[in-house]
Chain A
Amino acid sequence: AQSVTQLDSQVPVFEEAPVELRCNYSSSVSVYLFWYVQYPNQGLQLLLKYLSGSTLVKGINGFEAEFNKSQTSFHLRKPSVHISDTAEYFCASLMDSSYKLIFGSGTRLLVRP
Chain B
Amino acid sequence: DTEVTQTPKHLVMGMTNKKSLKCEQHMGHRAMYWYKQKAKKPPELMFVYSYEKLSINESVPSRFSPECPNSSLLNLHLHALQPEDSALYLCASSQGRLAGGSEQYFGPGTRLTVT
Contact = CB atoms under 8 A, between A and B. Distances in A.
Partners in one complex: yes
Interface of A: 32, 34, 36, 41-46, 49, 51-52, 90, 94, 96-101, 103-106
Contact of A43 (B42, B48, B103, B108): B108
7 contacts: A44-B43, A52-B99, A90-B42, A99-B97, A100-B48, A101-B45, A103-B42
B30 to A, nearest CB: 11
Mostly, the A contact residues are loop
Nearest to A6: B42
Contacts of B90: 43-44
A49 B90 CA distance: 20
B42 A105 contact: yes
A106 B103 contact: no
Nearest to B55: A99
